[in-house]
Amino acid sequence: MNGERITIIIPDEGERERIDRFLSQSLEMDLSRSLVQRLIHEGRILLNGATVKPNHRLNTDDIVEISFPEPEVSDLKPRNIPLNILYQDEELAVIDKPAGLVVHPGPGNSDGTLVHALLYHLRDLSSIGGVERPGIVHRLDKDTAGVMVVAKTDRAHRALSEAFAERTVSKRYIALSIGKPTREHFTIDSPIGRHPRYRHRMCVRDDGREAVTELFLKRVFHAQSSVFSLFDILLHTGRTHQIRVHLSSEGLPVVGDPIYSRKWEKYGVPHLLLASVLLEFTHPGTGKPMRFEVGPPAHITEFIKRLEKAAT
């Protein structure tokens, strides 16, 4: 998005929020609050066509325009960011990405991303993704933790990309959502596309791309504040925000979701309660089946412990 202008129409959940806070926390453009404030001071963020102060309170349907400066020449440098490498060989590596780590550089995150960590920890990375995304075959949202595969050679990158496109990669997630479904096992087969009004989010729409999510209800927690459901999720397609959109469309938003849950701050979680816990694919070099599984990240297990303690 660097060097471009984007327009955002403020949704209901932005009502009375500070503009700097809303733009930094409720959009998945990886904008830090300090960057938002700097863009405001530089006159690069306009509210209804006029300059604004960082502490201005928004109203529903306000129009925000963000004009990003021209990009600087890319000069990615390795950074010694701790990284849990589950496996690696000459062709690929598999990592357990922590929540809160941006996958690749973008507006507001020119440094300190997963890519910078990969450049430090791995000797080689594929070049197909371009200079800003070496090795990146697929991505997880900033606040989504879990298993990712990284390509170290261009041959592996091409093969893995084809496997994702042909849906031969098995991806399982866990999520804690607000509410309780009427069924223990169900599939949401609803196309997903860009929201026609709020362009920073996705939505279920008839003209969207095919999206299929299979859900298995594992546990239900009855707390004083709400009812929560723990899901085991099999992702059959890989659309942007797919699990988050599909669960929200069923009235079951993921806990801590700043985009698809109107009361996302209510439960005091540091990150989205969604994680990729299993990845299965065929090794592009050896042809052998590969399977990697991790447990839930700490912020999810800690929330579950809170719910269990409240129920005792």
Tell me the catalytic residues: 141
Beta-carbon contacts of 183 under 8 Å, excluding residues fewer than 6 positions away, are 217
Chain centroid to Cα 59, Å, comes to 26
* Residue 25: other Cβ atoms inside 10 A: 16
Sign of CA dihedral 153, 156, 161, 164: negative
Could you report how far apart the first and last alpha carbons of the chain are, in Å? 49
Beta-carbon contacts of 218 under 8 Å, excluding residues fewer than 6 positions away, are 174, 230, 231, 232
The bridge status of strand 212-222 relative to strand 84-88 is unpaired
Report residue 22 as tokens: 């809303």
Beta-carbon contacts of 109 under 8 Å, excluding residues fewer than 6 positions away, are 30, 32, 102
For the chain, strand residue ranges (E) read 5-9, 45-47, 63-67, 84-88, 92-97, 145-151, 170-178, 185-189, 192-194, 202-204, 212-222, 227-235, 274-282, 289-293
Q: Are 175 and 128 in contact (CB under 8 A)?
A: no
CA distances from 283 to 152, 200, 286 (A): 12, 35, 6
Per DSSP, the three-state class of 267 is: helix
CA distances from 169 to 70, 90, 133, 278 (A): 37, 20, 21, 10
Beta-carbon contacts of 119 under 8 Å, excluding residues fewer than 6 positions away, are 76, 77, 78, 79, 125, 134
